[in-house]
Amino acid sequence: MVDLKQLAYERKNIMAFLFIASFLKGAAMIGQALFFVWIADGVFLKNASFEEVLPYLYGLFGAILLRVACGYAIGRSGVNLAAEVKMDLRKKLIASFASNPLQASIQGQSGQKVSLLLDAVDELDGYFSKYIPQMVQSYIIPILLLAVIFSQHWVTGVIILITAPFIPVFMALVGIKTKEKADQQMEKLGQFSGTFLDVLQGLTTLKLFNQADRQKQTIQKSSLDFRDATMEVLKSAFLSSLMLEYISMLSMGIIALEIGLRLVVFDSLTFFTAFFVMILVPDFFNMLKDFGSAFHTGKGSTAAANRLSAHLEKETPAVEWGAGTLSNDPPHLLLQDLTFQYGESFKLGPINTEILPYSQFAIIGKSGSGKTTLLHAIAGLLPLSSGAVRVNGISREQIDEKSWFDQLSYISQSPYLFAGTIKENIAIGAGREAADDEIWEAAAKAGIGEMVGSLKHGLDTQIGEAGRGLSGGEKQRIALARAFLKQPSIVLFDEPTTGLDLQTEKILQQSIAELGKQATVITVAHRLHTIKQSDAILILSEGQLAAAGSHNDLLETYAPYGVMLEIQHGGIVQ
């Protein structure tokens, strides 16, 4: 639970400072009122000359200066407090994004998560920069003022004591309703950002399907919904300040009447006391009013804090790691009763198989049969439901994460190109600084060297978002080059040659074969000719192991394999 108040009190120095500054500010306010009254009383009733009141004017100036200085210091501390808490929370959020397991990372909308990081955290600002300083001030200043008022004219004090408690009661009443509405509003804001990013990404698709207009209406609707949700929150905030205003006005009216009565009828009060009290009372209520509006800002922050808590506390099964290390030699891999299930849906396994060091291992099967899932499980991206991946006899869970990934290259089915240069995008595979000629070599092995060479800026061409566009096959080859840069001992390829012509595919086959001299290569493929030479081929069907063996074994023992091969060679466009 993100407890905002606690976050504030954790920063003791700032809080202590706030208390001291508030005390001084209260004193300055009293001083200011006092000087005001002395001067007015002096020239109005006591017929003092201007020279006589001049010292009071200096005093007044001093009081004003002190008041403003304290206000400035309080405001500055509030800003500091807010900035620190926000930076802290953002750090936590980023850490939680980073430590997410893969499965959790694809849940929800990215836009919503970005909105959490930006909007929800910013929403907390008001709590620390406005509410907390105001709260501290309203602990101290009203009490100071009240004490002075009591000392001057106790009846006024009593009237305030009777009327003021209505304020927190009203605020609490309105506040409870606000909270609900603020929660709704926060949720709507998150939804809005989430949808928006999704729409942006799919704008071309939407246009092609003539949905751009409808989308416009959706945006309008969700934006008006958001307006209404916000107005609901604001309305109650406004209502509560109306109530505050009304109560304070009522109270001031009674006080004025009482003072007037004494002044006019009983003559039992001096102008000095009356005027003094009349200046202090509005100050008193202004403090409460300020607190009231800060209170509402604070309530809005609480809704945002809840959204943050919900995210930070979400439990997801994580992939476990240990401390063992791997050598540079390809390990012996053994899948023992490996199973994995996506929530309640698709179930993979149990799968038992052995992958020998330096072997070429292939996984084939119909689309949706679980090939990618199996690669993810082997790579340690998904937590197994049961069973184990044994690496040189020990469970993968006992191996150090870094050591494991240092030995592994995985080119996934839809690799992501980052906004940056081609060089950066290839070098990311090595996880270290790479020299240009190494990168050129990797690019050549992936069959993209020539194309990159023909570009004006060569390796320094910007690609990815906000960069030069590439053809489908070119993107694929840039990603493939990542694998050739590193010297891993296990390589996982998920359909490496999708979208490539046969000529390019041939180049790649050679490079992959070369890679296989120092590594175990596990390939998922639809184009069966690319994996014919494999030492072992695994056939998956609806998540189950249907058959395994070499190309020739399978031809003999597993009839569907022959059919698959035939269809592929006989052509599919029929």
Partner 1 sequence: MTELKQTLLLTLREKRDVALAIFFGFLAGIAGAALMASSGYLISKAALTSQMTILIVMGACLKLFGLVSALSRYAERLFSHRATFTMLSNLRVSFFEKLSPLAPGIFQKYRSGDLLARIVGDVENLQNFLLRVFYPPVVLAIVFISTIFFTSYFSFAIAMVVLVGMLLTIVAVPAIFAWRQRRIDSAVRASRAELSTEATEFLYGFRDLKIYQQLDRKKQDLTTFSERYGEQQRKEGFEENLGQSVNAFVALLASFFVLGLGAYFVAEGQLDGLYLAMLVMISLAVFENVAPMAVFPAHFEENRKAAARLDQVVSEPVQAAGDAELPLNTLDIKLENVSYTYPEEERQAIEGVSLRLAPGSKTAIVGPSGSGKSTLLQLLLNILPADSGTISIGGEPLAALDPEKLWQRMNVVLQENHFFFGTIRSNLLIANEAATDEEMEAALAKVQLGPFSLSSKVNEKGENLSGGEKQRLAIARAILRGESLWLLDEPVSSVDSVTAKAIYRQLFERGKDDTFVIISHDLTGLEQMDQIIVMERGRIVEAGPYEEIMEKQGHFFKLKQIEKSIFA
Closest contact distance (angstroms) between CB of 97 and ligand ATP is 17
Q: Which of these, 299, 112, 301, lies nearest to 222 by C-alpha position?
A: 112
**Three-state secondary structure call for residue 522:** strand
> From residue 328 to residue 347, what is the string marking binding to ligand ATP with x (rule CB under 6 A)?
--------------x--xx-
Q: Which residue is nearest to ligand ATP (CB)?
A: 469
The CA-CA-CA angle for residues 20, 23, 29, to 5°, reads: 140
> From residue 92 to residue 121, what is the string marking binding to partner 1 with x (rule CB under 8 A)?
--xx-xx-x-x--xxxxxxx-xxx-xxx--
Spatial distance between the Cα atoms of 304 and 123, rounded to a whole number of angstroms: 6
**Three-state secondary structure call for residue 413:** coil
Spatial distance between the Cα atoms of 548 and 512, rounded to a whole number of angstroms: 22
Binding partner of residue 562 among partner 1, Mg ion, ligand ATP, none, CB under 5 to 8 Å per kind? none
Binding partner of residue 130 among Mg ion, ligand ATP, partner 1, none, CB under 5 to 8 Å per kind? none
Closest contact distance (angstroms) between CB of 373 and Mg ion is 8
Which residue in 214, 221, 468, 569 binds ligand ATP (CB under 6 A)? 468
Q: Which is nearer to partner 1, 339 or 356 (CB)?
A: 339
Spatial distance between the Cα atoms of 393 and 331, rounded to a whole number of angstroms: 9
Spatial distance between the Cα atoms of 78 and 196, rounded to a whole number of angstroms: 33
Give the tokens for residue 181: 């509405």
Closest contact distance (angstroms) between CB of 195 and Mg ion is 28
The four Cα atoms 182, 184, 190, 194 give a dihedral, to 10 degrees, of -160
Q: Is 318 in the site for partner 1 (CB under 8 A)?
A: no
Which residue in 166, 392, 529, 546 binds partner 1 (CB under 8 A)? 529
Q: Which is nearer to Mg ion, 385 or 413 (CB)?
A: 413
Which residue in 152, 163, 230, 544 binds partner 1 (CB under 8 A)? 230
Which residue in 151, 268, 503, 552 binds partner 1 (CB under 8 A)? 503
Binding partner of residue 529 among Mg ion, ligand ATP, partner 1, none, CB under 5 to 8 Å per kind? partner 1
Q: Is 457 in the site for ligand ATP (CB under 6 A)?
A: no
The CA-CA-CA angle for residues 304, 306, 308, to 5°, reads: 75
Residues numbered 158-217 forming contacts with ligand ATP, rule: CB under 6 A: none
**Three-state secondary structure call for residue 113:** helix
Binding partner of residue 278 among Mg ion, partner 1, ligand ATP, none, CB under 5 to 8 Å per kind? partner 1
Closest contact distance (angstroms) between CB of 385 and ligand ATP is 13
Binding partner of residue 465 among ligand ATP, Mg ion, partner 1, none, CB under 5 to 8 Å per kind? partner 1
**Three-state secondary structure call for residue 430:** coil
> Which segments within 401-484 are labelled E, that is strand?
408-411, 420-421, 462-463
Q: Which of these, 181, 119, 144, lies nearest to 22 by C-alpha position?
A: 144
Spatial distance between the Cα atoms of 31 and 283, rounded to a whole number of angstroms: 13
Residues numbered 473-492 forming contacts with ligand ATP, rule: CB under 6 A: 473-474
Which residue in 55, 209, 318, 328 binds partner 1 (CB under 8 A)? 209
DSSP 153: -
Structural contact between residues 302 and 353, judged by C-beta atoms closer than 8 angstroms = no
Site residues for ligand ATP per CB under 6 A: 106, 342, 345-346, 365, 367-373, 413, 468-474, 499
